[in-house]
Homo-oligomer: A and B are copies of this chain.
Amino acid sequence: MLPYQIIEKKSYGKALTPEEIAFFVNGYTRDDIPDYQMSALLMAIFINGMTNEETLALTKVMLESGDRLDFAAADGFVADKHSTGGVGDKVSLILAPVLAALDIKIPMISGRGLGHTGGTLDKLESIPGFNVNLSGDDFQKMVLTNGVSLIGQTKNICPADKKLYALRDVTATVRSIPLISASIMSKKIAEGIQGLVLDVKTGSGAFMPSYDDSKALAESLVAIGKLYGIQTTALITDMNQPLGRKIGNWLEVEESIAGLQGNGPEDLMMVTLALGAEILQMADPQLSAEDAHKTQLAVIENGAALEKFMTTTRLHGGDTKVLEKPDNHSRATHRVDYPAPRSGSLQTIDTMQLGFLGIELDAGRRKTSDKIDPDTGFVIHKRLGEKVQTNEPLITIHANKKPALDSVMSQMEKVFKIGDEPAHTPTLIYEKIG
């Protein structure tokens, strides 16, 4: 087998065999195949796609490139939730403690902000002292004893995916359904879970903005999970506007605490509870959807979920004083409203653009080595379909640097479209797959 011939085969749109995929990916992981050959193959896959069999073979080789966690010793159902990425998406911060408070074991391996989207790890690190870099062993122990732990991908989990992902990120080959599917699912299968619910975002702030692509991605993810014997479902949820009102690392932790105290914004809580209900119903097939919602609300109301978040933070080395009293946390120096330039109703929000403006405020990264400012971001005041008056605040920009504030302020008119037509309120949860 020659790398050249495998690239050529895919460049003509032919399906690769599992042996060819394993040869190429393993050779690349071992540094036998150079970056420039892998990037040619990635682009051929990006454009010509992969069959389900190829995607499955790619998932398998990435999974088998590293360790798999084993929760056979776990007392209870082991599950995870994964989102394809959005703006203001802090669901994991609420859902993980809620489910752990209900005796579900949650070994959550999360990511950092990517492109215009935020990342759970960056949000957690806005809590002073919170350490997301545990070893696989410590992670496994915390999940067994505490019910939940949240960490980053260790060097032993899917190393092939880690190396491939870095290359995709600089060669414009990220937005590919087979490549995304194999990347997500290899890591999730490595977690050793029994159940998985996927939050596949669609709309102006999603990586896959079109509904058809989002649905195809959801179907691909669910099919792989099931083939690996994991109970898997996906909800396609709206990302035509940020989820919740707050965007930015600490701002999102703050809103998550509110959510765990029963004061979260309606859209955020609806998505969170719907995803949680999926997992609770996998753990107990007798449970009705209604009861699955109620039982989650109960651990929010009685404080058990918030307490689980506090304990988990402490176990990760985090300082819970800022969680108990969010005013104890630092705040951005500049907090300036962007006023509506006209009256009308809010037609569209360019959510991806808003995410990129967050990067200008250092709420996200331009390049891997950039340092995040935990305090910056946005608080949005209007939702799609709502009426606005001229000069009414649409969004508040939280910035620490004046030039960045000015730049973001000047670009904000590209984000919000206000019109005279009666505006559309998007559906929040479109469809369940699986």
Pair B170/A11 contact, Cβ less than 8 Å: no
Copies of the chain in the assembly: 2
A35 contacts which of B36, B42, B43 (Cβ < 8 Å)? B36
Q: Which interface residue of A5, A36, A43, A170 has the most chain B CB atoms within 10 A? A: A43
Residue of B nearest to A169 (CB): B4
**Chain B contacts for A431, CB-based, 8 A:** none
**Chain B contacts for A179, CB-based, 8 A:** none
A39 interface residue (CB < 8 Å to B): yes
Do most interface residues of chain A lie in helix, strand or loop, or is the interface mixed?
Answer: helix
Closest Cβ of chain B to A4, distance in Å, is 5
**Stretch of A44-52, A325-333, A344-352, A399-407 contacting B (4+ beta carbons < 8 Å):** A44-52
A8 interface residue (CB < 8 Å to B): yes
A37 interface residue (CB < 8 Å to B): yes
A44 to B48, CA, bound (A): 10
A433 interface residue (CB < 8 Å to B): no
Q: A11-B172, A170-B4, A171-B7 are in contact. Are A42 and B40 (CB under 8 A)?
A: yes
A11 contacts which of B36, B41, B43 (Cβ < 8 Å)? B43
**Chain B contacts for A134, CB-based, 8 A:** none
A281 interface residue (CB < 8 Å to B): no
A39 contacts which of B40, B47, B172 (Cβ < 8 Å)? B40
A215 to B170, CA, bound (A): 36
A36 to B33, CA, bound (A): 12
A42 to B8, CA, bound (A): 13
Closest Cβ of chain B to A210, distance in Å, is 13
A418 interface residue (CB < 8 Å to B): no
Closest Cβ of chain B to A67, distance in Å, is 27
Pair B40/A7 contact, Cβ less than 8 Å: no
A36 contacts which of B44, B46, B47, B171 (Cβ < 8 Å)? B171
**Chain B contacts for A353, CB-based, 8 A:** none
Please provide the chain A residues from 1 to 37 with a CB less than 8 Å away from any CB of chain B in the complex. 4-5, 7-8, 11, 34-37
A167 interface residue (CB < 8 Å to B): yes
Q: A11-B47, A46-B11, A47-B47 are in contact. Are A170 and B39 (CB under 8 A)?
A: no
Against B, the Cβ 8 Å flags (1 = close, 0 = not) of A275-317 are 0000000000000000000000000000000000000000000
A40 to B40, CA, bound (A): 5
**Chain B contacts for A11, CB-based, 8 A:** 43, 46-47, 172-173
**Chain B contacts for A93, CB-based, 8 A:** none
16 contacts between A and B (CB under 8 A): A4-B170, A4-B172, A5-B172, A7-B43, A7-B172, A11-B46, A11-B47, A34-B36, A36-B38, A36-B39, A36-B170, A37-B39, A37-B171, A39-B39, A40-B40, A40-B173
Known interface pairs A35-B36, A37-B39, A47-B48; 16 further A-B residue pairs with C-beta atoms within 8 A, sorted by A's residue number: A4-B172, A8-B172, A11-B47, A11-B172, A35-B35, A36-B36, A36-B167, A36-B170, A36-B171, A37-B170, A39-B43, A40-B40, A40-B43, A40-B172, A43-B43, A43-B44
Give me the interface of A with B, judged by CB distance under 8 Å: 4-5, 7-8, 11, 34-44, 46-48, 167, 170-173
